[in-house]
Chain A
Amino acid sequence: MNRTRRSLAIELALLALVILVCVFPFYWMVTTSLKTQVVAMQSPPAWIFTPTLDNYRQALFVDGVSRTLLNSLIIAVSTTALAVVLGVPAAFALARFEFRGKKDLWFWFITNRMISPIVLALPFFLIARHFGMLDKHITLILIYLTFNLPIVIWIVTDQFRGIPYDLDEAARMEGASQFTIMRKICLPLAMPGVAVSAIFSFIFSWNELMFGLILTRSEARTAPAMAVSFMEGYNLPYGKIMATSTLIVIPVLIFALIASKQLVRGLTMGAVK
């Protein structure tokens, strides 16, 4: 009895430590965002202070972070929608049809997930510059497809494979086309996978920095690129940087918590259920 109690106490302490380490940086981010510049630059740092929303007001309405958040939202939603529309039929084909080159196609998709974005960023920058496509939403929407499309195809293929083939067969007996089978029979059953893949491609697009930094200037500036641009100069506005960071991170954290049960499956592209 005594022994189990002790091991329980140790277990509790370990779990509390894990929670603390995971959550503390967010606590620090939010509290720093509520500090004035003077308090934020105190040494040693202050734990108790009078909070102010000044950094948020400044960031959102004076520096135009609100606009970059809107840009990020437009870009992330559009690229996700496009990835789902293009990716779902491809996933259906990979799960249901047999054809030559299927393995190569699958390998191509897998490598797309592994390619370093900087490899694409160089030529994409030159091409976009040549066609006057720099600083346009559509440029980021398209380039984000390079990682969103593989995610959608992978997760949804996995989901389609789990649907019994008998259902297709029955519908085909009644003369339904493959497209009707996908749309009317398989897609409703595959909705959980589609939703998870959509949440993932939203999170990845919303979080992306490098393409945003290289391919946008002002009109299509994304929120992470904006946050980084505060880092120039000597007297860094730490409170404002943390306020912007908080605004960027809160939506993805909410999405991630909603999809928390599916997160592992999504991040491993279905390799782990």
Chain B
Amino acid sequence: MRGQVSRKTILAFIGPSVIALAVIGIAPLLYAVWTSLHFYNLTKLRQVRFIGLENYQTVLTDAAFWQAMGRTFLLLATSLPLQLALGLGIALVLHRPGLTLVKTLTRLSLVLPMATTYAVVGLLGQVMFNQQFGVVNQLLGQNINWIGNASNAFAMIVFWDVWQWTPFVALVLLAGLTMVPGEVEEAARLETSNWWTILRHVQLPFLMPGLVAVLILRTADTLKLFDMVFTLTRGGPGNSTEMISLLIQRVGFRVFDQGLASAQAVILLIITIVLARLYIRVFYKEV
């Protein structure tokens, strides 16, 4: 029978990676919980002491924490719809027959942004969006202060996020479109020439798995976002682009308050796990 294998064999196969992930993934988390229950400042290590839930109280009533959280979700709410709209457009054009060579070239170009090192995207942003010698202002014929102005800086982060991840959405949706059986699509095209009707009733069911994956992964990646924003704005000006990961990094390594930062991290972890469970319960019925 399938799957009738002794316990020992199973342990031999999964044991090594479970142990590895427990040591590097779970033990540090437990240590973070321990730290979060202490007054733990890197500059005052002699004064480390147990303070119970005080750090958590501070976090829950801390405007900066919830603002950073809000900003992170605002970024998601701004860039994801743009990525979906642009990505769908690109996928639909690529799905049309003809122009094979140009389309192959386009598909290859789409691969480039998403493979690019996040940190390099941030550095490129600094160079291209510089007020005096940036190419973006030159092309726009404007003299916009991108990096020094709060809402401009946020728009710039949205731009780069959209630049980097629209190709991902486009290729995922294109993969979905090619799953539609040729006969079904042809039959539908005989009935109507309205692309929206075809999209809504014929293609959408095949796009669903991809859309779900995009939603889950984009949410997770936005909550994780650090490198690109750090190199582009360091969270500034002020803290107008300080995403949740940047806030925790600043509190832990610039303010040196490891206790408070750990409490923030634990709360972020809880939010992530709740979201992951929710998403998986709603969307992933199989496995």
Query: Residues of A with Cβ closer than 8 Å to B?
Result: 8, 11-12, 14-16, 18-19, 21-23, 25-26, 28-29, 32, 40-45, 86-87, 89-90, 92-94, 96-99, 103, 105-127, 142-143, 145-146, 149-150, 153, 165, 178-179, 182, 203, 206-210, 214, 224, 227-228, 231, 236, 238, 241-242, 245, 248-249, 252-253, 255-257, 260, 263-265, 267-269, 271-273
Contact = CB atoms under 8 A, between A and B. Distances in A.
Contacts of B227: 207-210, 224
B123 A241 contact: yes
A113 B220 contact: yes
B60 interface: no
Contact of B117 (A92, A252, A268): A252
B120 A18 contact: no
B223 interface: yes
Given A224-B120, A238-B127, A122 B35 contact: yes
Contacts of A18: 90, 106, 109-110
A271 B209 contact: yes
Given A22-B113, A124-B28, A271-B212, A209 B124 contact: no
A227 B127 CA distance: 13
Interface in B119-148: 119-120, 123-124, 126-128, 132-135, 137-138
Contacts of A165: 2
Contacts of B20: 86, 145, 149
Interface in B247-267: 248-249, 252-253, 258, 261-262, 265-266
Contacts of A115: 25, 224, 269, 272
Contacts of A41: 132-133
A23 B110 CA distance: 9
A111 B133 contact: no
Contact of A178 (B9, B120, B265): B9
Contacts of B65: none
Given A28-B135, A122-B252, A260-B111, A11 B93 contact: yes
Nearest to A210: B226
Interface of B: 2-5, 7, 9-10, 12-14, 16-18, 20-21, 24-25, 28-29, 31-32, 35, 90, 93-94, 96, 98-99, 102-103, 105-120, 123-124, 126-128, 132-135, 137-138, 163, 167-168, 171-172, 175-176, 179, 209-210, 212-214, 216-217, 220, 223-224, 226-227, 230-231, 244-245, 248-249, 252-253, 258, 261-262, 265-266, 268-269, 272-273, 275-277, 280, 287
A118 B110 contact: no
Contacts of A107: 277, 280
A23 B112 CA distance: 8
Contact of A43 (B132, B167, B258): B132
Given A44-B138, A165-B2, A248-B120, A15 B102 contact: yes
Contact of A26 (B112, B175, B231): B112
B230 A146 contact: no
B248 A122 contact: yes
A182 B12 CA distance: 13
A116 B223 contact: yes
Given A28-B135, A241-B127, A260-B108, A272 B175 contact: yes
11 contacts: A11-B93, A21-B163, A41-B132, A89-B13, A93-B10, A93-B13, A114-B224, A120-B25, A122-B32, A123-B28, A123-B32
A94 B14 contact: yes
Nearest to A247: B120
Contacts of A15: 93-94, 99, 102-103, 105-106
Given A44-B138, A90-B14, A116 B96 contact: no
Contact of B287 (A92, A98, A106, A253): A106
A210 B230 contact: yes
A263 B18 contact: no
Given A18-B110, A41-B133, A121-B249, A126 B117 contact: no
A25 B127 CA distance: 10
B108 to A, nearest CB: 6
Given A245-B124, A264-B168, 7 more contacts: A26-B112, A89-B16, A111-B272, A113-B220, A118-B226, A119-B268, A267-B217
